[in-house]
Amino acid sequence: MTASYSRFRQKSVFPPSVPVTYWNYNGSDNGTDMVPGNGVDAWMQDVVTPNFRSRQKRGEVIMSHMHSARNEYYTSGGSYRYHYVPDSRYWGDSSGNWAPVYMGLQYNIRPGHNQLISASDSSQLVTEICTRLLSERNRSGANSSENLAELGKTLSMARHPIGSWWRWYNNSYAKTAGMSTANAWLAYRYGIRPLVSDLNTIMQQLSKRYSTRRTNRAGGSLTARGSYTLTHSKGIAFTTFSKVVDETYTVRAMTIDEFVVSVSYRLGFTAKQIVTLPWELVPYSFVIDWFANVGDFLGAMADFALSEKALGSCVVGRWDIQESYNLLTTVSSNPYYTFDRIPYGSIVAKAILKARSPGLSGPGLVVKSNFRLDEAIRIADALSLVEQALIRRFR
């Protein structure tokens, strides 16, 4: 069989720099400066697998390395004019786009890798996503193990979920509207709602036809923004300009597994869910899981012993970086010169960097990248828990 080999492709070539002209009153300093032209440069390096289509049709799962980059550069602006104060006949003038020159960005700029999001933060996100994916593998959509462990509450809620919620609301031991509301909300969120969802999932799983393979996916992202005011000197000009950097790092991970559907799976019982059940029964363990991936880590560790056959997996990381520059002010750094027409303009540079790597990183305990405390439902959960604690403390 022919061995795989690396391939490099370039979709376009970044355009060459373009000249902008300037001249002085006596012609002694006439000339040009070169500034970047607008355009796109894109390339990809991947692995060619011989007979890929036929091997895929035979059921083989092939994961390979891939790296790609896309760089975009856009600039616009105007010319300048100045004169010599003691004798206004002495002047300098220009035409064309002088924004890059007066920002000191005469050359093609490329958004740099890892500007705002550190390497440790991006690595931690990869660990978090891979740990979550390993934890989710081989789990049923329903968690009957936990429902059975809390059989008394489960049966009470299953008889009449709405009535259970109403009784919980009315019979709170603290005779306050606040405690009743907090208890009722948490009973709905972490009792009735999961139970109803599990019952519905079991019904669907009992009637559903499954293929022999299942694809599991997990993902997450980090974002950062930086704003700066910078300065640059050019000839008699002293300029200030703004720089805004927006950066996003996104991770996607996936596995393809041999999937054996048993009756116990359809009913919501799997070995992994039984192994991780003790953690789920710890009071308020779900609150810890808001901030740290303890539950996912335990599930991922159980995956090594209980997993089905893994056919293939990979992690894809993507950086989206944009740098925006805008000229703010231009003043003369020489008291004998003044600007009659100041240059203006902006520059936008973008980069999209992607990398795909076969396999997953090992599981690890990390602080979660997104606590989701800015979402309405998580805020309601947190306020209910705080309200419970305060009322119990000062009832």
Question: For each of the chain's 395 residues, which pLDDT tens digit applies?
Answer: 567 888 999 887 766 778 888 888 776 777 888 887 788 889 999 999 888 888 888 888 889 999 999 988 888 999 989 898 888 777 889 888 888 888 887 655 555 555 789 889 999 999 999 999 998 887 776 666 666 666 555 455 445 555 554 555 555 544 455 555 666 666 666 666 776 676 677 677 666 776 677 888 999 999 999 999 999 998 889 999 999 999 999 999 999 988 777 666 766 677 787 778 888 888 888 888 889 999 899 888 887 656 567 889 999 999 999 999 999 999 999 999 999 999 999 999 898 999 999 999 989 999 998 877 777 777 777 777 776 666 666 65
| Residue 21, both tokens | 């002209």
Residue of 148, 153, 141, 189 whose CA lies nearest to 287: 189
DSSP state of 28: T
List b or e across 169-198, with b for residues whose CB sees 16 or more CB atoms inside 10 angstroms: beebeeeeeebbebbbbbbbeebbebbeeb
CA 167, 168, 173, 174 dihedral sign is negative
Q: ∠ at Cα 152 (151, 153), nearest 5°? A: 95
pLDDT of residue 158: 47
* φ/ψ of residue 48, rounded to 5: -95, 125
Measured CA angle at 283 (ends 277, 285), to 5 deg: 65
Q: How far apart are CA 204 and CA 141, in angstroms?
A: 10
Q: What is the pLDDT of residue 30?
A: 79
Instruction: Report the alpha-carbon angle 303-309-313, nearest 5.
Output: 80
Asked if residue 248 lies in contact with residue 226, where contact means CB atoms within 8 angstroms, the answer is no
